[in-house]
């Protein structure tokens, strides 16, 4: 895999051809040790020394190559170039892509001479150029340039590795007889190219601080979240509804907003969920409505509401205390009219709360019951049902026995960057993302493989120091693991302070430690940066569900520490990604 600069493709890049080639350079094994610079991430305020380079490819032992990319349909008739875009608009030009690439190559040579001096070894580096037509099969005999400088759709699909090998050999053969050519200086090694890259990258990348990146990202998220509220408006016209949506589609935010709207209508609301952390977080967000909206995880609600009532204390030690005994006890309390019922019921994390005992309780706490009362359920019934005892079909069948609710679907991911969404879908076993990922560009997901626990601890400490040195506030990162803290890698770290987050009030801007939680406990929550440790399995359905939940918690940055024994499985998964791109 090549080193890409910038390490992610810019959100302003409209060229699907450039995006395709970027992914190929990034994910192909034959590009190992290459450095590829892509120009479209240039800031509008960055001055370019040389203007029209789509990709600059630095190949150890092979030289430097300027690539001009032309998407859509391209023809050359009588020396006039015709370019037709995806909207079927055609423009013409007397200056073709080959001349553009060649002129950019000469501009690059001039810039290198000006920077390093005419006698410097970098001025002897072999430079070449090529043109890419990723969407068409190009007529290689219609232009005055060599066929081996043309990378078209057929070549990309069938023999792209051999194409680049041949390209390098052809340029070497073409220039090795010239006086300036030197095997040592003209075909630089990886170290020389890294040094040269330090000069070149300034025209391709303007470095931004972590704080700048997060501020820009958060502005994007706010603008896209507004679209979710259009779905909310439709939900308000239905007395009973189920809203399905994958991770990051805004279910919790809509559930809270719906609670507030109901409160303003004078209704009393019970807003509940499965996980304690998300329940505490929602409670804090809705503090000003506490007289009208009761916010609590279901287990906390069961415990608090049953206080003061006599029940068999020996039941509290049984496994089904919260799943059967308390729900049925509290149901009877509400049926007797001892506790006041609610006007509206809103359930988040519905995939973990639809079972007979819970539905029986919900029916009793709601005025008019589930058949005739006002209620909403929000859930991800695909990969986030990590506590569910029933299948999606069985859950829906239970509800349909009571009433036929209106169903809504949320598709737009308003939490994760495109990179995180795609990688999450890939490792979770989806053939394509279960949500729309059109908007939020970010940084690449990072993977690191550990040989043993000692190595994993070392990798974790290195990552935490790197993030801390970058200026990332400690409360912007959460370390997740499928294991409990005492059994996890994080629990063994000694050089960095890590503490388990058990309550949401432990997360603050004055936080002096890195936070930790299990993947299971953090479901429903989110963090700008997520680092997942102790990944020892990739193939099982349980592993895929936990990866889906854990990875989708990350809004902007995501790092995974994976056991070396899983590398071959990871490579198989990566091949699926290449097939889909």
Domain that holds residue 432: 418-580
Structure tokens at 93: 């030009």
Pair 15, 135 in one domain: yes
- Domain co-membership, 66 together with 34: yes
Does pLDDT of 447 surpass 90? Answer: yes
- pLDDT surpasses 80 at 562: yes
Same domain for 14 and 161, yes or no, is yes
* Of the residues 153, 185, 207, the one at which a domain ends: 207
pLDDT in tens, 59-71: 999 999 999 988 7
Q: Could you tell me the pLDDT band of residue 46, with boundaries at 50, 70 and 90?
A: very low
Are residues 318 and 190 part of one domain?
A: no
Answer with the residue of higher pLDDT: 143 or 240: 240
- If you ran DSSP here, which 8-state letter would residue 88 be given? -
pLDDT tier, 237 (very low <50, low <70, confident <90, very high otherwise): confident
Residue 231 domain-assigned? no
Tell me, what CATH number does 552's domain have? 3.40.50.300
Beta bridge partners of 436: 412
262 and 176 in one domain? no
Q: Indicate the DSSP class of residue 357.
A: H
pLDDT over 50 at 74, yes or no:
yes
Q: Which of 184, 155, 171 is nearest to 61 (CA)?
A: 184
Do 45 and 107 lie in a common domain?
Answer: yes
- 168 and 187 inside one domain: yes
Same domain, 537 and 390: no
Residue 220 lies in a domain: no
What average pLDDT does range 145-171 have in this prediction? 91
Same domain, 152 and 94: yes
pLDDT at 465: 92
* Residue 549 domain flag: yes
Q: Work out the mean pLDDT of the chain and round it to a whole number.
A: 84
Is the residue at 227 inside a domain?
no
Task: Select from 433, 444, 456, 447 the least CA-distant residue to 581.
Answer: 433
Q: Is residue 150 part of a domain?
A: yes
Angle at the Cα of 331 (from 326 to 332), degrees rounded to 5? 105
pLDDT at 206: 47
400-433 per-residue burial string, b: 16 or more CB within 10 A, e: under 16: eeeeebeebebebbbbbbbbbbbbbbbbbbbeeb
What is the sign, positive or negative, of the torsion defined by CA atoms of 315, 320, 324, 330? Answer: positive
Residue 158 lies in a domain: yes
Task: Kindly tell me if the per-residue pLDDT of 207 is higher than 60.
Answer: no
Is residue 219 one of the residues assigned to a domain?
no
Banded pLDDT at 349 (limits 50, 70, 90): very high
- From the list 139, 138, 134, the residue with the least C-alpha distance to 157 is 134
| Residues above pLDDT 90, as percent of the chain | 40
Residue 148 counted as domain residue? yes
Residue ending a domain, among 410, 438, 473, is 410
Residues 173 and 258 in one domain: no
CA distance 434 to 453: 34
Same domain for 424 and 402?
no
How many domains are contained in the chain? 3
Nearest Cα residue to 154 out of 140, 166, 170, 168: 140
* Last residue in a domain, options 369, 388, 410: 410
Q: What is the pLDDT of residue 248?
A: 82
Q: What is the 3-state composition of the chain as percent helix, strand, coil, each rounded to the nearest 5?
A: 45, 20, 35
User: Do both 423 and 406 map to the same domain?
Assistant: no
């Amino acid at each position: 895999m090549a080193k890409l600069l910038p390490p992610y493709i810019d959100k302003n890049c409209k060229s699907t051809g450039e995006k395709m080639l970027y992914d190929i350079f990034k994910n192909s094994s034959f590009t190992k040790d290459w450095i590829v610079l892509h120009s479209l991430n240039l800031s509008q305020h960055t001055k370019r020394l040389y203007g029209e380079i789509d990709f600059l490819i630095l190949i150890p032992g092979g030289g430097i190559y300027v690539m001009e990319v032309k998407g859509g349909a391209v023809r050359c008739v009588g020396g006039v170039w015709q370019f037709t875009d995806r909207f079927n608009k055609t423009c013409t030009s007397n200056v073709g892509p080959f001349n553009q690439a060649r002129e950019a190559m000469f501009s690059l040579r001039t810039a290198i001479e000006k920077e390093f001096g005419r006698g410097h070894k970098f001025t002897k580096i072999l430079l070449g150029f090529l043109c890419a037509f990723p969407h068409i099969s190009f007529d290689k005999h219609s232009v005055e340039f060599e066929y081996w400088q043309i990378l078209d759709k057929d070549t990309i699909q069938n023999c792209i590795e051999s194409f680049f090998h041949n390209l390098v050999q052809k340029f070497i053969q073409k220039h090795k007889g010239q006086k300036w050519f030197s095997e040592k200086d003209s075909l630089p090694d990886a170290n020389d190219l890294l040094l040269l890259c330090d000069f070149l990258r300034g025209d391709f990348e303007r470095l931004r601080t972590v704080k700048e990146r997060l501020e820009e990202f958060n502005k994007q998220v706010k603008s896209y979240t507004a679209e979710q509220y259009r779905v909310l408006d439709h939900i308000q016209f239905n007395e009973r509804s189920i809203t399905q949506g994958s991770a990051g589609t805004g279910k919790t935010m809509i559930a809270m907003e719906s609670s507030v709207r109901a409160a303003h209508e004078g209704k009393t609301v019970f807003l509940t969920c499965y996980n304690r952390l998300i329940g505490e977080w929602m409670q804090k967000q809705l503090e000003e409505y506490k007289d009208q909206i009761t916010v609590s995880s279901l287990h906390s609600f069961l415990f608090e509401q049953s206080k003061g009532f006599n029940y068999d204390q020996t039941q509290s030690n049984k496994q089904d205390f919260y799943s059967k005994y308390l729900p049925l006890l509290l149901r009877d309390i509400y049926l007797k009219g001892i506790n006041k019922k609610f006007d509206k019921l809103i359930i988040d994390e519905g995939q973990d709360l639809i079972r007979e005992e819970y539905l029986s309780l919900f029916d009793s706490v709601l005025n008019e019951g589930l058949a005739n009362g006002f209620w909403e359920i929000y859930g991800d019934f695909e990969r986030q049902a990590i506590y569910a005892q029933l299948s999606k079909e069985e859950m829906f069948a239970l509800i349909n026995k009571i009433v036929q609710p209106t169903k809504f679907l949320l598709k737009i991911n308003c939490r994760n960057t495109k990179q995180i969404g795609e990688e999450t879908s890939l490792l979770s076993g989806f053939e394509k993302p279960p949500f729309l990922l059109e908007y939020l560009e970010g940084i690449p997901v990072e993977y690191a493989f550990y040989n043993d626990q000692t190595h994993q601890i070392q990798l974790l400490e290195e990552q935490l120091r790197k993030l801390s040195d970058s200026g990332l506030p400690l409360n912007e990162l959460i370390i997740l693991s499928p294991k409990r803290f005492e059994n996890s890698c994080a629990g063994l770290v000694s050089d960095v302070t890590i503490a388990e987050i058990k309550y949401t009030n432990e997360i603050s801007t004055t936080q002096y430690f890195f936070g930790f939680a299990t993947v299971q406990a953090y479901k429903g929550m989110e963090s700008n940066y997520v680092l997942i440790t102790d990944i020892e399995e990739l193939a099982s359905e349980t592993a895929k569900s936990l990866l889906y939940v854990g990875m989708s918690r990350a809004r902007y940055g995501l790092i995974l520490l994976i056991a070396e024994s899983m590398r071959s499985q990871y490579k198989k998964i990566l091949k699926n990604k290449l097939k889909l791109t």
